[in-house]
Amino acid sequence: MKTSIDCIPCFIRQTFDAVRMLTDDAGVLESVVRSVLSLISDMAFTDPPPLMGQAIHRLIRTACNDSDPYREVKQQSNRLALGLYPVLKSRIRNSAHPFETALRLSIAGNIIDFGTSSRVTDETVHSTIQACYHNRLNTTAVEQLQEEVRRASNILYLGDNAGEIVFDRLFIEELPREKVTYVVRGSPTINDATMADAREVGMTEIVSVRDNGTDIPGTHLEKCPESFTRLFNTADIIIAKGQGNYETLSDSKKNIFFLFTVKCAVIAYHAGCSIGESAIIRGGEKEAGVR
C-alpha cells in the first residue's frame, strides 16, 4: 500500500520519541527534526510507509550516532513477555482451542509497537491480553489458516516486534515447528525484532530463524536479498505479523495471512477494520497451499 498523508504526524512523533530516547540535547533534537521534515517534504508517497520509516530512522541513527536507539525498549519488552510466558502457555494448554487461543495471543502481542505509540505500558499489554480471548475475530479465516498450516510443507512466519516475538513463539509451538521458518529484520529499526531478540527469547532453539537482510520495518521484497526472496517465493503459506508487514505486502499475490492489532486510522481504513481490533486478513490470491 502507498503511504498516506496521515502517516506524516506519526513519522514526526517517532522522530521525537527516538531522539529523546538517546539525548536531552535540544540542539540535536532540533537539528534531527529539521532534517526529517525536509526529508518528508520531498519523499515519494507511492512507496509503502515502512520505506519512509527506514529513511527516517536511518537518518536518526546516523545523526545521533547510535545504531539501535530502541535497544533498551526491546530488552524491556522481551523481559516483560518472557515473564508472562509460563501463564500464557498454561492458558493455551488448558484451552478448548489451543490453536485459536495461541493465535489470539500472537495478535495481542502485536500491541508492543513503538512505531504507532510513544509508550507501551505493562498495563496496556496486560489489558490487551485480557481482551484478546474474547475479541471479535474472523473465525472463518482462523479455520482456513489452521487447515492450510496442516497441508503446507513450509511455512514462513514474518515476525514484527521485540516482546511480541515471545507471543509468536507461543503460537509457533502450536504449529508443526519443523515446517516453520521465522524471519526477523536484518538490522535494528524502531523496536522491530532482530536475530538478537530471536536468540534472547529462545526462538532460535525451536525453529529455523532467518533475517530479511534489511532495516525496513516491514518486508519490502525489492530491497531484500535474493536469499530471502527465494525463501519467500517458495513458501506454501506466509504468516505476516504486524502493520509494517501488512503495509509492505498487502499487494502481494502470495498466500499470506496477516495477523495484527489495528493501531492507526490509516490501516483501519485500508483494511476495513476498527482501531483496537484483532485482525486476521487473508491476502494474495487464494492459492490455498496448492503449490
Q: Using the rule CB under 8 A, which residue among 21, 37, 131, 221 binds a copy of itself?
A: 37
Measured from the CB of residue 31, what is the shortest distance to a copy of itself in angstroms? 10
Measured from the CB of residue 2, what is the shortest distance to a copy of itself in angstroms? 11
38 binds a copy of itself (CB under 8 A): yes
29 binds a copy of itself (CB under 8 A): yes
26 binds a copy of itself (CB under 8 A): yes
Residue closer to a copy of itself by CB (options 39, 221) is 39
Q: Using the rule CB under 8 A, which residue among 1, 21, 23, 35 binds a copy of itself?
A: 35
- Residue 109 and residue 78 in contact, taking contact as beta carbons nearer than 8 Å: no
Residue closer to a copy of itself by CB (options 30, 72) is 30
74/199 Cα distance (integer angstroms):
13
| DSSP states along 74-113 | HHHHHHHHHHHHHHHHHHHHT-S-HHHHHHHHHHHHTT--
Residues 56-85 close enough to bind a copy of itself by CB under 8 A = none
12 binds a copy of itself (CB under 8 A): yes
Measured from the CB of residue 56, what is the shortest distance to a copy of itself in angstroms? 12
Nearest to 105 by CA among 41, 160, 151, 170: 170
List, in sequence order, the alpha helices (H) in 110-179. Answer: 122-132, 139-151, 164-172
Q: Using the rule CB under 8 A, which residue among 1, 21, 23, 33 binds a copy of itself?
A: 33
Contacts of 28 (CB under 8 A, 6+ apart): 19, 63, 64
